Structures are given as structure tokens and as C-alpha cells.
Amino acid sequence: GQNIDQPTEMTATEGAIVQINCTYQTSGFNGLFWYQQHAGEAPTFLSYNVLDGLEEKGRFSSFLSRSKGYSYLLLKELQMKDSASYLCAVRGGGSQGNLIFGKGTKLSVKP
Amino acid sequence: SQTIHQWPATLVQPVGSPLSLECTVEGTSNPNLYWYRQAAGRGLQLLFYSVGIGQISSEVPQNLSASRPQDRQFILSSKKLLLSDSGFYLCAWSVRWTFGNTIYFGEGSWLTVV
């Protein structure tokens, strides 16, 4: 079967660092994506990992370990506007490479 | 640059009524197109995807259908809505599949079936 797990909710303080974990079990693997989704809005693309290691993009970084079926999204210098849901998605095998999404982690940033 | 639009943004429909959500993509050709649904407390569920005009693949059995009458147009329909069809519907596109291509979402359509 195919499964993506991430914590349901997290809370952090403005200016702090938070790490959102994601574990996955899928039929085939062709990359892992992170999306940000503010309440009532569509998801927007944050990052993509296909090789092991860390990808850094400004305040956001994403890490992947394919052997462990594990990824995390690291958010530094948290701002109030970072309060949102963060979706982990895996592109599995198959000819179409469709994304399989986790249920998302709702992050609340407190002053 | 590429853009994706879907409409209507919000609709309230009675049980048993028909549904039509429309999505168009601009600035690209031969895109893969997708319809996702996000129900309260659940993850994004892929409903349909299309790799070309008239080519539709369904991921889950349901009373919804999809059509792609033109290269950059994708339509989600139902003849008779159920209460369980309520949710946030998202159209999305990507370039024809290669490693690393990203799925980009439209603004979404909120459907409430009453």
C-alpha cells in the first residue's frame, strides 16, 4: 500500500526554528515535494527532493533520506505569515508520476 | 508565464443537482491536468488526471466525471450531487511528466452540497 505520515498539528514561536517530519511508503519513488497551504487557499509549491540530502531555499530547507523513507521541512526565523498547513507529497512510480499527498501538518506560529 | 484558473470559486448546490467546474491553463501546451478534492480533515485526493484531449483516467470510483474537450481545458461534472461530494476542489497542471516537474494548483472551488 501507499502511505504518507506527518504530524497533524505543531505550534512554534515567532523567530524560532521548526522541523516538520514526513515518512512515506510508496510503490516506487520519483521525488518528494513540500507544499504550503494557507487556510481556504490552494497549495503552493515550496520544495522538491529526489536525491538524498538537504535542499536550502531561503528560510526553508528540505531534507530527504530515501533509504529511511523520510523527509523533513525546516523553517527558520519563523514569521506569523508562516502559519499554514504544510503538505508532504510523494511522486510514486508508474507512467504518469502522480503525486500522493499526506494529510498535512497545521503549523501555528505564536508571538 | 503559465497560469491556471478555475471557476466558480464558491457554490452551494442541493442534493441531486448537477455540477460543472471548469479549469483552463494558459501559457503552456500539452499539459497534464488533474482534479483533486480536499475534504475536511483529509488529505488531497486525486480524482482524475488527463494526459491529452479526450484522455481521462479515474483514480477513485464515484459519481463524478471529467472531460477534456480542448488541450488546456478540464471540466469536472456530476449529474446528481451527493452530500458527500462537499469539499474543496482543486484543478492542477504539470508539464508532461518528467523527473522533477511540479504540480501547480488553481485557486480552488468550494462546493457545499445541502
Helix (H, G, I), strand (E, B) or coil at B85: helix
Q: Do B97 and A87 touch (CB under 8 A)?
A: no
Q: Do A104 and B43 touch (CB under 8 A)?
A: yes
Give the model confidence (pLDDT) of A77-105 as tens digits: 999 999 999 999 998 766 566 788 999 99
Could you tell me if A46 and A106 are in contact, meaning their C-beta atoms sit under 8 angstroms apart? no
Where does the pLDDT of residue B9 fall: very low under 50, low under 70, confident under 90, or very high at 90 and above? very high
Q: Do A50 and B100 touch (CB under 8 A)?
A: yes
* DSSP-assigned letters across all residues of A3-43: EEE--SEEEEETT--EEEEEEEE-SS---EEEEEE-TTS--
Mutate to test the interface with B, among A3, A33, A49, A99 (most CBs of B within 10 A): A99
Closest CA to A75 of A67, A66, A84: A84
Give the model confidence (pLDDT) of A45-84 as tens digits: 999 999 999 999 999 999 999 999 999 999 999 999 999 9
Give the model confidence (pLDDT) of B86-97 as tens digits: 999 999 999 876
